Amino acid sequence: MKTSVSTLVLAILLACSCRPAREKHSAAAPPPARALNEISREQRHVFLKGHAGDWRGDTDKSRSVPPPPIEKPYPADAKLIDLVKPDQITLGAAPLATVINQRRSRRDYTTNSLTNEELSFLLWSTQGISGTEKDHQGHVVNQFRTVPSGGARHPFETYLAVNRVTGLAPGLYRYLPVEHKLLPIRDEKDLPRTLTTACYGQEHAGRAAVVFIWSAIPYRTEWAYGYVAPKLIAVDAGHVCENLYLAAESIGAGACAMLGYDQASLDKLIEVDGKNEFTFYLATVGKVSPEPPKPGTGTTDEAARK
């Protein structure tokens, strides 16, 4: 990956509109965001550490503002695409220790397609909902998924750039975790080239069967945690992507996380405004050729893990 975690935290911090704790409401326009190279090292460290004081003060949650929806809305007449239901998935039986041991970033993909069940398994593994908690007014206040998230806020939406999935036309889709279905966004001509260009010429972006594109909706976390939200969101992204790595390995596929991409190009591709929602992280996924184990160890060559 080409971008450090600290840069990731800073990028979302500058894009967020969190108010500092106990700051009075003001109608004045906020100052323009500064470039990353204008911020001192000491200030970057503060961003990474959070705040030593009452870091939950003066949030919309503390004001009893209802929480934001756990999923973006979609047209009532939208034709959704069914995925294999989580309780009907038969994949993922590989021993956990084996999967962890063989996990690495994989960029060399075969031309084989993923199946509906495989894609369903990967989506469930990364953002699948296992339960919800509601307040006395019926508002969802917590959601429990297959990955941890600070305060169970889960600030991500999952978009899919599909090249090769059995039964799916190539194009853009959004995963609806509540329904466990896909929402078609549009067909995209020459999607492999578009992805490669948007990722600064990294060819595996165009060769992948699917590219997972996670957008962040910062307010979901800001609602509860205010200006400390950027740190939580950055940490949450790691939880999601590591589950994708392990789930992919368990089905004979591979994943490669990516932070080297053009922000404006990918925001345009997935049709988000780049302010209240923006591309935050992505990972390529594809089927891979089996690797012979290293003699006497059962592991692959150590150099290949880097």
Q: What is the pTM of this model?
A: 0.82
pLDDT tens track for 28-84: 666 666 676 777 888 777 777 766 555 667 899 989 999 999 899 999 999 999 999
- 112-149 pLDDT, tens digit per residue, is 999 999 999 999 999 999 877 888 887 766 778 999 99
Superfamily of domain 5-305: NADH Oxidase (3.40.109.10)
**Percent of residues, the chain, with pLDDT higher than 90:** 64
Domain boundaries, the chain: 5-305
pLDDT single digits (tens) 207-249: 999 999 999 999 999 999 988 898 999 999 999 999 999 999 9
In this prediction, residue 290 carries a pLDDT of 80
The pLDDT of 14-25, averaged and rounded, is: 42
* pLDDT mean over 82-90: 96
pLDDT value at position 214? 98
C-alpha angle 269-271-275 in degrees, rounded to nearest 5:
110
